[in-house]
Structures are given as C-alpha cells and as structure tokens.
C-alpha cells in the first residue's frame, strides 16, 4: 500500500490519489488529510469524488466520511457501470468529474456517473470551462466522453445535476507546445431564471463582447441562457479557441456586483493570458497533469503555481515523472 501525507495538500491530493489508485491498481492510504487547513479532514465534495472513482472500480474504501483525516482506497478492476453521487452541498461537480475523467484510459466498459451539487462555485472551474475548454482539448487527444447538464447549481444550495459518460479511450500525447493562431472567442453567459428581469445574463454577455471586440482580430461569439436554480447566481466564461488548444477565463456573479463588472473580470483575465505565448491557462495546466502523466507530451503555461508543483509531486509518488521548467517567459510542462 502506498502511504501519502495529506498534511500540506488540499482536496486535489485526495482526488488524484483515488484516481491513480484506480488507474494503477495500487492501494493508497492518505493520512493527515488537509492537516494544515483551519478545518482539517474531508469535505463532502472530497468524499463524493472518492465515491465516484470507487464506483467505477468496485474499490474497498475506508474513512471516506466528512471530517475524516484518514482514508484508504483499495481498487478493483475498472469495469465501468453506472453510479449516482450526491454532494448534498454546493460542492463543485466539475472537480468531481475531473477525478473521474482519467479513468477512461483503463476502463473495460463505459462508465456513466450522475453527480448533483454545484456546477458554478468559487475555488473551482465552472461548468462551461469543463465542457467548452477541457473536454474539447482532451477529445482532440483521444478521450471519448460526453456530458449532459440537467440543471445548474450555485452557492449555497447547489442543486445542480450533471451526467458524464466515459468510454474506454486511448490517450494520445498532448501535443500542445504552441497554441497556434487564434480562431475565435466565445462568451458563455448563464444566470438564474430569477435574474431574467434584471437581464443579468445578457448584460454580462454584452459587456464581455463589447470589450473583446474592441481589441480582437477574430470573431467574437456569444451564448446566453437562464436556468431554474435553487439558489440565484450567474457566471460568465470567455473561451479562447486557438489552432491547437483552448483557454478559459471565468467570473461569478455576486450580490451587489454589477453584471458588467463580472464580465470585466473574466475579460481582464483573458487579456493577461493573451499577452503571453503560453498554450494553456494556469487552471488547465494543473488539470491536464494526469493525462500528461499517462500519455506524455508537452504544453506551456504562463506561471508556475503551487497547485501545479503539488500535483507533480503526487504523481511522482505513483512513479510518473513530469518535468516542469521555465523557459522564454513560459513554464514548460512535459513528460
């Protein structure tokens, strides 16, 4: 059994440990889970991620409970099947799906998992980043997966629902050393039905498109929608589509924060990225690491984050060596 200390890590360490236990067939023990945090131990979204992975490989799991500081995962065969995981809070659905996606590399049969919780919440990639940035990049490199968003979920009640279907996949090396020429920019703006009268989704989109068109040499597309949600909320995502890759930049609406300011926040993040020559944004750089470990390849990102370094160290514990080096104003990640 591989024993890992979770003292310095967060939920990502537990999620990736569960993922690579399933992928390698090696039992894993994580001790002192989130030990350095003010409130140590597993949160509900961390438990849900372990449950989603365990269901795909019929794993024996101990300690997967809220507040637990010790968890073990003893995996079986990645046989696929169907599962339903309820976060019961506004915990991030995309982060739970992130733990499941790499399993496609070793699945014997399709795996379908439905997760309820938060689709668009703080400290996590929003749903449109997952479906319009991450999935298209991975599909281009061999991932066979599809998703259905039944409803959105915002903080604090959550209530969103997403179904992910994975099919056995053969990943190809991530050929992302350069992003290539820009093709277009898409603005995805979503708000709760209760915010329709205030025109929130359209105002977010209008402000983002106006700002982007003033300095864009490519088409700027837009899509707006209103969904019935348990808690009111909104989100806007700017998706930059390049010849070889994609990048995403999002902002969440808040009570008292004008829709135009939400749009400006997402656009500003994109503008900062556009000034670099990196192939992926800093969030995708971290999320691509499991696939790089499995299939090899290269990509570049604007900065070296603590999340990136922690993730690399965890993969090394499973004997997957990833090289991270700074060169020409970018951070090059390769294997």
Catalytic positions: 307
8 A C-beta contact, residue 260 and residue 207: yes
322: its two tokens: 């990833």
Inter-residue contact 90 to 157 (CB < 8 Å): yes
Distant-in-sequence, close-in-space partners of 11: CB < 8 Å, separation ≥ 6: 34, 43, 45, 46, 49, 95
Q: Give the pairing of strands 246-252 and 174-176.
A: unpaired
- Cβ–Cβ < 8 Å for 71, 14: yes
Q: Are 171 and 137 in contact (CB under 8 A)?
A: no
Q: What are phi and psi of 201, to 5 degrees?
A: -60, -40
* H-state helical runs in 148-250: 200-213
Reduced to 3 states (helix: H, G, I; strand: E, B; else coil), residue 146 is strand
What is the CB-side half-sphere exposure of residue 295 using CA atoms within 13 A? Answer: 25
Q: DSSP letters along 169-185, please?
A: --PPPEEES---SEEEE
Closest CA relative to residue 150, chosen from 167, 139, 164, 136: 164
């Amino acid at each position: 059994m591989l024993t890992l200390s979770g003292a310095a890590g967060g939920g990502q360490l537990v999620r990736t440990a569960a993922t690579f236990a399933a992928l390698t067939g090696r039992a894993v023990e994580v001790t002192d889970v989130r030990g350095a945090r003010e409130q140590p131990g597993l949160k509900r979204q961390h438990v849900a991620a372990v449950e989603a992975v365990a269901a795909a490989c019929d794993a024996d799991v101990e300690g997967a409970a809220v507040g637990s500081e010790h968890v073990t995962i003893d995996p079986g065969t990645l046989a696929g099947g169907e599962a339903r995981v309820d976060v019961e809070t506004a915990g991030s659905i995309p982060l739970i799906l992130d733990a499941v996606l790499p399993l496609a590399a070793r699945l014997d049969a399709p795996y379908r998992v439905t997760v309820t919780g938060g689709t668009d919440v703080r400290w996590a990639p929003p749903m449109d980043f997952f479906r319009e940035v991450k999935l298209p990049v991975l599909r281009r490199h061999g991932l066979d997966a599809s998703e259905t968003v039944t409803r959105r979920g915002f903080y604090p009640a959550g209530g969103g629902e997403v179904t992910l279907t994975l099919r056995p996949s053969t990943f190809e090396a991530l050929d992302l050393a350069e992003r290539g020429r820009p093709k277009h920019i898409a603005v995805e703006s979503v708000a709760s039905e209760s915010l329709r009268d205030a025109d929130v989704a359209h105002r977010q989109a209008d402000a983002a498109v106006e700002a982007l068109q003033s300095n864009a040499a490519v088409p700027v597309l837009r899509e707006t929608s209103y969904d019935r949600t348990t808690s009111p909320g909104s989100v806007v995502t700017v998706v930059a589509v390049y010849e070889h890759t994609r990048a995403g930049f999002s902002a969440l609406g808040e009570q008292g924060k004008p829709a135009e300011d939400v749009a400006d926040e997402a656009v500003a993040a994109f503008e900062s990225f556009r000034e670099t020559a990196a192939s992926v944004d800093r969030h995708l750089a971290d999320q691509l690491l499991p696939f790089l470990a499995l299939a090899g390849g290269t990509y570049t990102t604007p900065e070296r984050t603590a999340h990136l370094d922690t993730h690399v160290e965890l993969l090394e514990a499973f004997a997957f060596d990833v090289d991270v080096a700074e060169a020409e104003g970018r951070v090059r990640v390769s294997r």
